[in-house]
Chain A
Amino acid sequence: MSAAPMTASNSTVPNATPLLSARDLSVRFGGVLAVNKVSFDVRHGEVFTLIGPNGAGKTTVFNLISRIYTPTTGTLHFEGQLLSDKPPHAIAALGIARTFQNIELFENATVLQNLLIGHHIHRGAGFWSNLFFTKASREAEIAARLSAEQVIELLDLQHYRDSFVAGLPYGKRKVVELARALCTGPKLLLLDEPSSGLTVEETEDMAWWIQDIKTELGITVLMVEHDMSLVSRVSDRVLAMNQGEVLTLGTPAEVQSHPGVIEAYLGSMDDVSSLRRKVA
């Protein structure tokens, strides 16, 4: 029984096979094709961002990876293993953690308890051991606490350790959401709009943390984001989506200057002229 590993694989040889690969991923809800033949690879140790207007299917892709939805066609592979036959609760054990767009924290628990729950897959002691609180349970508790404290240290949550989540301000809740995901000791971290609702300072902190997660912890990050400055700052590669389909893939600069992406966000060149004020 050990504390959750905070660093990813110790191999110094850059891993050529992708960590996560999606091939022709599609999901249909009734008549709506939410995701249509999306393919991409996420390489080890990179920060990969999905951008696109609302309704493009980005969070749906996350939900497909977390196995909340099942793809209608196409495959998802993580470290070479097929994901679509795994039940949702097995995803964390594989090494995938996620945050939620609308914050799904455990409201009636303290921040520390939230983080300890994040450590669940490494718990080591089972029900009967817990019932009698044997030495194994005690050691498991201490190990979980150590792991949680490392994350608290990283994200500066010391002041909020014993606060109930329900009373925390929005910015802090997003940080707790991130902290809880880190406590699972993931190889791949899915961040769903990490900077939405955050102030400039908080976004700045988030940018630093994402970089720390990548460089110090060696965790691969797959991110959905709208804040373009944050995207340019931390991402290695960007995938632009629109209406469930892939528009383009490349470095942040390449993607942001792609005409299709500009059209998706702002409309085509012709449309803009109608906004011009008519000169009498």
Chain B
Amino acid sequence: MAFVQLLISGISLGCIYALIALGFVLIYKATETVNFAQGELMMLGAFGGLVLMTWLGWSFWLAAPVAVACMFLLGIGLERAVIRPILGQPQFTVVMLTIGVGYTARGLISMVPVIGTETNALAVPYKGEVINLGGAVISLEQVAIIGMTAVLCAVLFAMFRYSKLGLAMQAASQNQLAAYYMGIPVRRINGLVWGLSAAVAAIAGLLLAPITFVHANMGFIGLKAFPAAVVGGFGSLPGAIVGGLVIGLVEAFAGFYLPEGFKDIAAYVVVLVMLVVKPNGLFGGATRKKV
């Protein structure tokens, strides 16, 4: 039964990683920039929910969507203010910028009186409840995470496959100049992608909050999502999900079967193995410059 238990906790943790990785990959696919502040966006989403619930007294079911919507707007604003001016510059510069954004976000949150410096609990309605599935104990929080991830994946898949917006996003990601000529409002699309990515991160934050509690350093979990994105292949959305699940499962099982300390680095070892065996990830396409 330990196996099933580990499986469930691995999958649910993996779903969190998957959601954060999804956020990365969305941005990467759209603008080929990597957002190192994704973890911090998740943290801001969780804090947003917390603030709405504790300061305004709203219920979870009202606070959560509003927090997600706010993060959507924040994502658009972030893109407009900070990312747009430097598009076209080498990748390294953009990465450094997002690291700066992450630092600033973390610092600013810790300045918020009372809740900024503490570890806060988020009072979700399904907290603490468990289901007994033939011996294995699954918490509702885990169910919520897995369920929500599945729903999000379906929605995003449909959007990219069937909607004009999704097609426009793909076009803008492959060749900006050509997309401009085709009449695609590239800058607005980039803003939307960042908004979408921030919203996904906020959802991940709200789902994770009952398990890890809401605190300023929550974003560090986002660092584990990088291995997830690499394992899946950076340009691939399904890859992000699969990668996240792989990392989550590896961590869960490593924590149980391997000696102390391996759990923390298991994800990173997997990355290195992946880069040796299949450098472009499980679903990533071959990248080669055409000369």
Find out whether A and B make contact in their complex, taking CB atoms under 8 A apart as touching: yes
In the complex, the chain A residue whose C-beta lies closest to that of B289 is A104
Give residues 274-291 of B contacting A (CB, 8 Å).
291
Give chain B residues whose Cβ lies under 8 Å from the Cβ of A11. none
Number of A-B contacts (CB under 8 A): 7
Give chain B residues whose Cβ lies under 8 Å from the Cβ of A59. 291
Give residues 224-254 of B contacting A (CB, 8 Å).
none
**CA distance in complex: A188, B18 (Å):** 52
In the complex, the chain A residue whose C-beta lies closest to that of B290 is A102
Give chain A residues whose Cβ lies under 8 Å from the Cβ of B291. 59, 63, 68, 100-102, 104
* B131-164 contact mask (Cβ, 8 Å, vs A): 1 or 0: 0000000000000000000000000000000000
**CA distance in complex: A118, B291 (Å):** 18
In the complex, the chain B residue whose C-beta lies closest to that of A59 is B291
- Shortest CB–CB separation between residue B67 and chain A, in angstroms? 44
**CA distance in complex: A100, B291 (Å):** 7
Give chain B residues whose Cβ lies under 8 Å from the Cβ of A63. 291
**CA distance in complex: A258, B97 (Å):** 59
In the complex, the chain B residue whose C-beta lies closest to that of A102 is B291
* A201-212 contact mask (Cβ, 8 Å, vs B): 1 or 0: 000000000000
**CA distance in complex: A63, B289 (Å):** 12
In the complex, the chain A residue whose C-beta lies closest to that of B291 is A100
- Shortest CB–CB separation between residue B138 and chain A, in angstroms? 45
**CA distance in complex: A38, B193 (Å):** 47
Give residues 150-179 of A contacting B (CB, 8 Å).
none
**CA distance in complex: A12, B101 (Å):** 68
What residues make up the interface of B, taking CB atoms closer than 8 Å to A?
Answer: 291
What residues make up the interface of A, taking CB atoms closer than 8 Å to B?
Answer: 59, 63, 68, 100-102, 104
Leading 6 A-B pairs by shortest Cβ distance: A100-B291, A104-B291, A102-B291, A101-B291, A68-B291, A63-B291
A-B contact list, 6 entries, CB within 8 Å: A59-B291, A63-B291, A68-B291, A100-B291, A101-B291, A102-B291
